[in-house]
Structure 1
Amino acid sequence: MAIETRHLTADADGYAQAAEVWRAGGLVAFPTETVYGLGADARDDIAVARIFEAKGRPRFNPLIVHVPDAEAAKALVEWSDAAEILASAFWPGAMTLVLPIRADAGLSPLVTADLPTLAVRVPAHPVAQDVLRAFGGPVAAPSANPSGRISPTEAAHVTAGLSGRIEAIIEGGSCDVGLESTILGLAAAPTLLRPGGIPAEAVEAALGTTLAQHAEGDTLTAPGQMTSHYAPGARVRLNATSARQGEAFLGFGPMDCDLNLSPTGDLVEAAATLFRALHALDAGKAGAIAVSPIPETGLGRAINDRLRRAAAPRDVTP
């Protein structure tokens, strides 16, 4: 049975309505600086289960819990010196920390997929901050899109993918960063679990050490690690120098193409426009999308991670 999905304004009244929906066990999509998240009360088993249902998300894929500040995070996880360094340097911001969950955290076990760790983040977007404070509790929130599909960076993307499955969407404009958060595992040696909106080089500089790497194919320990993810309906071909018959061409740098992530070769601009461009090309009904090479440095590492998963054999049913 379809749900009437309300569109809420990014103001005090909209935040109060969103908080009311969360307290009643409902789902609300809201903007962060990375992508739009699909939020539910992280303490409510049924509400969290509804996230998986609405997205068609596998239950073994853990969720990120969003809180307004580091003090709220410390009530949920076992804090560490490395966590303090990273939180001081990058929170609020596009970084998620994975730490041992506290025995008294009070969260639904569905959030962690029964793992002994919890992924937690303090978003920087003012709308996310305001709605979290209006609610006053931890909010579990993966990206607000059908599982495995392109992440949403505008409210219209959320509407296209989830309208009729969720209670509300807060209209908050476009997401500035445009890529999901960088995820760092801190339960043992600092490990890059997912590249994202903060380059690994910046993290290593803050910690004064080289990050360990999560190997492809290892057990899932954080969101965004499934081989096939972030995928448009069209097939994706990487490292293309031109388009083939029936392909749309997504460029980078000065070149002729259908859409360009950054004509000047700016990786920050490319990250911010990646998902928006994939949505636009997919809506054009191209048989496939060819993507020009992206440098494997800085934010390029996260961009290429998303593109490789978008191009992977489809092992997720949306």
Structure 2
Amino acid sequence: MLNSSLLKNKGLNYFFALFVILIWGITFVSTKYLLRSFSAFEILIVRFITAYTMLWLMKPERIKLLRKKDELWFFAAGASGVSVYQFLENIAIDYTLPANVCIIVSICPMFTAIIAQIFLKEKNINLLFVVGFLLAISGIVFVTFNGALVFHLSPKGDFLALAAAVCWAFYSLSVTKIASFNLSPISSTRRQFFWALVCMIPIAVFGILNGKNSPMTYINLSAAANAERWSDIFNWLNFGFLGIAASAFAFAVWNFVCKNLGTVRVTVFLYLTPVVTIVFAFLILGDKITLMGSIGAVLTIAGLAISEASKRREKGRRNMPNER
């Protein structure tokens, strides 16, 4: 086990944040494979049950809260950042281009900064932060299209993607409040997944009752179909990756890093997700990286660096003695 002083090392925390982004950046491959046999909702259900089970096995003791009303923050985190965010993002892809969703969801850091400034009174938004945001979003546009200039507005899907980005901002607010409870990241993340699963029960009932009329929420109860799709070892491996690595491990580490570095600072690392995706697609799937994609990656990293510099500058100003 790592000792507390090592865990609070900023360099190590940045490494953890980047590692989580790496995991989240490659989940599209697992999801894409599973969508051949499962609906988007079925994938989320199995993924979150796997994550909750793994977190419970790692730390089975119950959480003791000082105030009962603090449970509302766990409910808010589970609903906004786990179930609703993931569900809205998956549905948005069904109504609009994946490129649109990728770009719109990448606005999360700006929404997070706005929410933190309103509700937590944190001064996160300054000129450098805005410049970094604009650079990163420009880079994400280049990376997402990667030479294929295909873009069209789809109000329904684009609005759902925007709603997902707002949900993540409220998830970040909830995580910040939960961090102040000084609980184990594993235990607090497990409680978030518990409420995420509770929130998905009504959707599951809807999916069962409506059958194939609701393909996004469809739950296949056919014994023959389930025997066939669960006999595929790659389905098991992909669910293991999504449930254990991308959910149980990644969310627990993300909550831990947010507590140590600050939620707004860590959230800007989400800019890198499309960059990770395009690199991984090149290395594993053989997709080409064009000049446009390369320029986009550079712009995105530059935007991240400037946004990070804005946080250091703001912290330096707060630490300066007042001059009279």
Task: Tell me, yes or no, whether TM beats 0.5.
Answer: no
More helix by share: 2
More strand by share: 1
> If the length of structure 2 is used for normalisation, what is the TM-score?
0.23
> If the length of structure 1 is used for normalisation, what is the TM-score?
0.24
- Higher-Rg structure is 2
More contact order relative to length (CA 8 Å, sep ≥ 6):
2
